[in-house]
Amino acid sequence: MTEIKRHDSESVSSALRRFTKRVQQSGLITQTKKRQFKARKLSDYKKRKNALRRINRRKELEKLYKLGKIN
């Protein structure tokens, strides 16, 4: 939990600005936004399918590279 103490002669707006800056530096807002929606885990079938797609794409790119069609 982020906490600040207001100095004796500090205005409320400057204390709020300091608090906001400290919250942003701690990364609380970004963590909360990431946790807002939970992504479902991929099934084993989809993991395998994606892996095969990556492997085939890599082979295709190697083939095109050898043929000189891409750099």
**Tens digits of residue pLDDT in 28-37:** 899 899 888 8
Neighbours of 19 (CB within 10 A): 14
Confidence of residue 52 (pLDDT cuts 50, 70, 90): very high
pLDDT exceeds cutoff 90 at 56:
yes
pTM to 2 decimal places: 0.47
Q: 61 and 49 share a domain?
A: yes
Residues 44 and 32 in one domain: no
Q: Domain check: are 4 and 21 in the same one?
A: yes
Please state, in angstroms and as integers, the Cα–Cα distance from residue 61 to each residue in 12, 33, 52, 53, following that order. Answer: 59, 37, 14, 12
What percent of the chain shows pLDDT beyond 70? 100
Q: Say how far residue 52 (Cα) sits from the centre of its chain.
A: 25
8 Å CB contact between 33 and 39: no
Q: Do 19 and 49 share a domain, yes or no?
A: no
For residue 25, give its domain range.
1-37
7 & 23 share domain: yes
Are 3 and 33 part of one and the same domain?
Answer: yes
* Residue pair 6/15 in contact by the 8 Å Cβ criterion: yes
Same domain, 23 and 51: no
